[in-house]
Amino acid sequence: MNDDFDLDAFVAATLAEDLGTGGDVTSAAVIPASATLTAVMASREAIVVAGVQVAAVFFGELDPAVEVERFVGDGDAVAPGTALLRVSGNARALLAAERSALNTVQHLSGIATLTRAYVDAIAGTGATLLDTRKTLPGLRTLEKYATRMGGATNHRLRLDDGCLIKDNHIAVAAGVEAAVRAAVAAGLGIAAGGLPIVVEVDRIDQIAAALAAGADRLLLDNMDVVTLRAAVALVAGRVPTEASGGVRLDTIRGLAETGVTFISVGRLTQSAPAADIGLDYA
- Is 144 annotated as catalytic? no
Beta bridge partners of 47: 78
Whole-number Å distance between alpha carbons of 249 and 75: 20
Q: Which of 18, 45, 76, 99 is catalytic?
A: 99
CB-based contact 92:31 (threshold 8 Å): yes
Q: Which of 45, 221, 257, 276 is catalytic?
A: 221
Q: Which of 8, 44, 67, 166 is catalytic?
A: 166
- Is 98 annotated as catalytic? no
- Catalytic positions, written as ranges: 99, 134, 166, 200, 221
